[in-house]
Amino acid sequence: MPRLKDNMPVIAIGLFLLIYGFIVNTGVLLPLLKSLKTHKSMDLQVMLSLIVGCLALVCALINSARQKPGTSIFDRFVLQPMGGIAMILIMAMAIRWYLEPLVKMMSASLEPAIGFKVYKVLNLNYVVERSRYRGRKRTQNRVYSCNCSIPGIYKQRSLP
């Protein structure tokens, strides 16, 4: 393994994802996930962590077993960017399952004191507003009416 030192960040990221997947799978983080209300997605966390962690380790071992870097399309688009792909997944998982519920809880607890929602000022509407409708159907009564003379064109308006 002549290039093991070059692939050490990808190996570390892959091992981190595997360890995180096993920790979540054992249920050690269950009280934390229940307090953040993300415990229903534990199986998704385990699955993503284990699959991407294994892929990162395999790609790092393939890269380190070679004498020199490959130039094929597989090397350029799969093996070489695997560290970045795994890092982006770690950040997305941290935001989705840890930061988003914390921002939501912090904003709800600070709203009576400061008079506004913190996540709207921080421009985090997409984070909290998206999760507010999770688990519920978005049903609205819509009335379609035509206020023009062109047939087939309808305006949509909500009922009060």
With cut-offs at 50, 70 and 90, classify the pLDDT of residue 136.
low
* pLDDT value, residue 146: 47
d(CA 9, CA 55): 14
- What dihedral do alpha carbons 53, 54, 57, 61 form, nearest 10°? -170
pLDDT at position 145 over 60: no
With cut-offs at 50, 70 and 90, classify the pLDDT of residue 144.
very low
d(CA 134, CA 69): 45
Q: How far out from the chain centre does Cα 125 lie?
A: 16
pLDDT at position 107 over 60: yes
Write down the pTM of the prediction: 0.71
Range with the largest mean pLDDT of 64-78, 88-102, 106-120, 130-144: 88-102
With cut-offs at 50, 70 and 90, classify the pLDDT of residue 74.
confident
What residue has token string 């709203």? 111
pLDDT at position 120 over 80: no
At 25-62, the pLDDT tens digits run: 999 999 999 999 999 999 999 999 999 999 999 999 98
Range with the largest mean pLDDT of 35-44, 114-123, 135-144: 35-44
Distances in Å between the Cα of 28 and the Cα atoms of 14, 42, 99, 118 are 20, 11, 19, 31
* pLDDT value, residue 35: 94
